[in-house]
Homo-oligomer: A and B are copies of this chain.
Amino acid sequence: MKTIRNKLVFCFAFCSIVSIHIFAQEHPMLMVTKAGVQKIRQELGKVPLFDASIKNVKIEVDQAIAAGIDVPVPKDYSGGYTHETHKRNFLIMQKAGLLYQILQDQSYAVYVRDLLFAYEKLYKTLPLHPQTRSYARGKLFWQCLNDSNWLVYTSQAYDCIYDWLSYKERKLLEKNLFRPFADFISVENPQFFNRVHNHSTWGNAAVGMIGLVMQDDELVKRALYGIENANLAKGVKDNDGGFISNENQKAGFIANIDEPFSPEGYYTEGPYYQRYAMYPFLAFAQALQNAKPELRIFKYKNEVLLNSVSVLLNLTDANGEFFPLNDGQKGMSYHSRELHTAVDLAYYYGDKNPSLLSIAKKQGRVLLNDAGLAVAMAVRDGKTIPFVKKTIHLTDGAKGNQGGISVIRYGEDEALTSVFKYAAQGLSHGHYDKLSFSLYNAQGDEVLQDYGLARFVNIEQKGGGNYLKENKTWAKQTIAHNTLVQDEVSHFNGKYEIGSKHHSELYFLDTEKASFQLVSAKETNAYPKTTLQRTQVMIKLEALKDPVLLDLLRVSSDTVHQYDLPFYYLGQLIATNFTTKCSSTLVTLSKKHGYQHLWLEGSGLANSTLSQFTFLNHQKYYTISTATTADDQVLLTRIGANDPKFNLRRDAGYMLRRNAKNTLFATVVEPHGGYSYVSEFSTGAKSSLHNIDILWNSESYTLVKLILTNGQEYVLCLANNQNKPTAEHTLQVGEQLFSWKGTYKFLTIK
């Protein structure tokens, strides 16, 4: 017999559908094992973090049991009563199942059984959900996605009481509820199930997990490899604007690991959706590991599932909140339930990385299973070491050849973090934000923000908790990001079909030395015949207390364009060295591509040499200094125009505007000094930068001189088209000769 394992070794690039065999298994097997339960019972009362976790779960479940069973007829969108009730039901059921296993208190099994039969009774009567917005309407919920959430959790509850139920009860549930449910979200909705998308990952896991419990071969196979010959039409889109069919027509759980994950474990949709998909990825993987260890699922694609947990933790600010790359709701963090699961499983099935324990400690709770017990015991035994976030570079694309993301950090305390994006489109949740960046401080505060999404997830009054139209008209548009807009048109003309075909390219990076970290990337497709190159350099100069970010945005084209470069600062404007005029009425910047959402609060001519803009963000000053001429314009903007329902935040922007063919926006973002609201001391409130002198800017080279107010001077020499370490470069600038070997050199002049 060919084992699946051998197959997997040979099908890294493309997994063909193989025949698999299910063996009789003991229950439980999904989230927890029989052996695991025995071990847990032995350790009860001896492992503080585990005991505390049980206690909290018990309180929650006991309250739910006391409140009684409520299985309403489906009616609402997310945030509405029926939606939230069914959601709560599956979360509680899963926990009740575990409590039954661990505490061996039958009342939990009774509760799960009664709920399951309430669903059994309801489900067989259900037509499609009455809300029609989804491309794949569910039955319990408005979309198959949420139905799949239900089944991922409920299959675990069923697994936990499987042996406790009678044969007849099991058959009834499987016949009337689970099998039809699994078929509905798969074969009856191939446009949902057979994609490479976080939606399908949930669908795959749901079908696979219930298949394992039911020991149903066919379902497990369908989960792993998709529906055969689904033949989805090409070019059809879902209600979020994403393509239903991927080019290779691959589908199923394995395809969903292959495609959206880069080799390091970056998920192309971005961290918010990676977090969301993490639960079905890991829950199903764990179940497969328990039920079918020969699959070696955690080893698949160089352990990408386990590695992706560490990637996800690295894609957080100092508070543990995910960077809102692409569509992402701010505030989501590693305190979410998905990350509890992810961290515990990554520890247990990975190499027992003790730094994960520090995250588990911050989370304050563990899974009620084998993995959670292992984590809690290791924490108890003092094995924790800090999880220190460093500069990381992640490639995008299944093969890691579609650009990527750099998170450039200075300081062990994450004193300054730039999140620099030169990735692919990111499927339907992607934004048109090539070469954009955002900036964070040591407290996890945003300094220069990425807007995130225009949605209030699960808040029913706000468009049913779904994506609002401002997500498309504002949040995805280029002007909503800290990157360059040409002629007031978004990258790829804001068209998903075009954007999906392209990605930026990493040009060069060197971040070995903490005091000088350079990343440079290029984008040649966002605008026809225009090349963008952005180079971000995190520099810690001896003379300055804080690191600075040197940001070089080079544009070249063969015709003159209007280039807009916005910085969405957060905080209070303190001072500028240019003058802006404010009018007594506010008008919008323009009519489309997001500009229709910006009020023009002030505008004027830039400073003739260096435009400086100082703001106070929480208790720290920041100055954005850009080399400008008197032909440049400065614009002060406010988000919120043409937003009658107040779906957008009224946040501020500072924008540079320049008409040119080839040009360089040379900017330094400089944290400095501080202000205390309690002592009312203001220190270092002024920039230490005297000037930014662009010595040279061409297709081949960019040379920029920084001059501090104390007289010190530094020059960065950068080769723009030659990144071989051995290449030698010589350039005469005025009377001065610059020569260097390798892509760049950073010189201290005086």
Contacts and interface: CB of A to CB of B under 8 A. Distances in A.
B580 A685 contact: no
Interface in A334-376: 335-337
B461 A614 contact: yes
Contacts of A330: 677
A680 interface: yes
B582 A685 contact: no
A652 B650 contact: yes
Interface in A82-122: 84, 87-88
Contacts of A679: 336-337
Given A581-B644, A638-B650, A575 B461 contact: yes
Nearest to A601: B640
Interface stretch (A440-448, A480-488, A583-591): A583-591
Interface in A574-633: 574-575, 580-582, 584-588, 599, 601-602, 614, 616
A490 B660 CA distance: 51
A462 interface: yes
A584 B87 CA distance: 40
A465 interface: yes
Given A586-B586, A643-B582, A459 B685 contact: yes
The winner among A79, A337, A677 for most chain B CB atoms within 10 A is: A677
Given A461-B574, A677-B330, A677-B332, A584 B682 contact: no
Interface size class of A (residues with CB under 8 A): 35 or more
A703 to B, nearest CB: 32
Contacts of A680: 329, 332, 457-458
Interface string A167-185: 0000000000000000000
A331 interface: yes
Nearest to A642: B584
Interface string A661-685: 0000000000000010111111101
A332 B642 CA distance: 37
A524 B599 CA distance: 42
A461 B457 CA distance: 41
Contacts of A546: none
Interface in A652-710: 652, 675, 677-683, 685-686
A456 B682 CA distance: 10
Nearest to A88: B681
Contacts of A584: 587-588, 641-642
A682 B84 contact: yes
The winner among A461, A581, A584 for most chain B CB atoms within 10 A is: A461
A298 to B, nearest CB: 26
A688 to B, nearest CB: 14
Contacts of A466: none
A573 interface: yes
Contacts of A682: 79, 84, 458-460, 465
A7 interface: no
A649 B572 contact: yes
A650 B648 CA distance: 14
A417 interface: no
Contacts of A582: 642-644
A646 interface: yes
A333 interface: yes
Contact of A677 (B329, B585, B614, B643): B329
Contacts of A329: 677, 680
A274 B87 CA distance: 52
The winner among A84, A329, A572 for most chain B CB atoms within 10 A is: A572
Contacts of A677: 329-333
Contacts of A337: 679
Contact of A678 (B87, B336, B649): B336
A574 B84 contact: no
A159 B602 CA distance: 54
Interface string A13-52: 0000000000000000000000000000000000000000
A456 B331 CA distance: 29
Given A584-B588, A586-B585, A599-B586, A460 B650 contact: no
Nearest to A78: B682
Nearest to A645: B573
A584 B335 CA distance: 41
Contacts of A681: 84, 87-88, 458
Contacts of A640: 601, 638
Contacts of A685: 79, 459-461
Contacts of A652: 650
A573 B638 CA distance: 17
25 contacts: A84-B681, A84-B682, A84-B683, A329-B680, A330-B677, A335-B678, A336-B678, A337-B679, A458-B675, A458-B682, A459-B574, A459-B616, A459-B675, A460-B685, A461-B574, A461-B575, A461-B686, A462-B574, A572-B646, A584-B641, A585-B588, A601-B646, A602-B644, A636-B646, A650-B650
Interface of A: 79, 84, 87-88, 329-333, 335-337, 456-462, 465, 572-575, 580-582, 584-588, 599, 601-602, 614, 616, 636, 638, 640-644, 646, 649-650, 652, 675, 677-683, 685-686
Q: Which 7 A-B pairs have the closest CB atoms?
A: A331-B677, A586-B586, A461-B575, A573-B646, A582-B644, A458-B682, A79-B682
